[in-house]
Copies of this chain bind each other. A is one copy, B any other.
Amino acid sequence: MKEGPDIAHIAALIGDPARANMLTALMSGKALTVSELAEEAGVTIQTASSHLSKLDDGGLLRPRKQGRHKYFALASDEVAHVLEGLMGLAAGSGYLRKRTGPRDAELRLARVCYNHLAGDMGTQMFDSLVERGHLVLDGEELELTEAGVAFATGFEIDIESLRKARAPVCRECLDWSERRSHLAGSLGRAFLGRFEELSWAKRDQKTRVVTFTRNGAEKFNKLFPVT
């Protein structure tokens, strides 16, 4: 009864529809302004401002001021992770917000989950990396092997600079649609970044959908084969 952290407080923060919409929008990984988030949530700017300060107080967001704009992003991978978990529960209990439409299918195939690739293609990438020994689970953490470093470097990802940042390089993250792990962390982000640089895929501006070109999908499947 009075043991452990105050779970109700932060769950209540996520539990308001307007705030949940904002958080969902931020799952795209991009930092958004107050006005953008207000529109996303379907409320006025005043209420959005109020909601955002509450979320910030709860430690769920990381605000950044830039000129006369104020950008908000999710505070950490952990926040994103919990949100995905909640989506999994919501999807599982059939509480879908929208009837499964074409948009939903696209989301299941490939979407952005706080800066990295999720959905069917996300888990394919993860499985492929593990299968070929580029990633291994070492104790609590996912680790990049020698072979994995070589592989990433060959794909023109600079592992060293990733390692200098404080954020963990590899993390696993559970899909709400696939219920399987995919690669998060700064390496996950770097991969997605490269896909965009190479024009294999691009993110939809408004939704979390990631669309691969035909050519990009082919290259992707060649790079991340699964048995």
Residue ranges of A at the interface with B (Cβ–Cβ < 8 Å):
1-17, 19-21, 23-25, 40-42, 58-60, 78-79, 81-83, 85-98, 103-104, 107, 123, 126-127, 130-131, 136-142, 172, 176, 178-181, 207-208
Contacts and interface: CB of A to CB of B under 8 A. Distances in A.
A78 B86 contact: no
A10 B5 CA distance: 19
Given A11-B11, A131-B139, A180-B140, A89 B42 contact: no
B90 A78 contact: no
A11 B5 contact: no
B3 A8 contact: no
Which of A97, A98, A126, A127 gathers most chain B CB within 10 Å? A97
B78 A92 contact: yes
Given A1-B25, A180-B140, A14 B11 contact: yes
A14 B8 contact: yes
Q: Top 4 A-B pairs ranked by shortest CB distance?
A: A59-B93, A12-B15, A137-B137, A8-B20
Contact of A2 (B2, B97, B136, B180): B97
- Per assembly, the copies of the chain total 2
Nearest to A139: B127
A92 B172 CA distance: 19
Contacts of A176: 4-5
B5 A87 contact: yes
Q: At the interface, is chain A mostly helix, strand, loop or mixed? A: helix
A45 to B, nearest CB: 16
Given A94-B59, A140-B180, A16 B20 contact: no
Contacts of A10: 86, 89-90, 93, 95
A12 B16 contact: yes
Given A11-B20, A90-B10, A127-B140, A3 B95 contact: no
A224 to B, nearest CB: 12
Contacts of A42: 1
Contacts of A126: 139-140
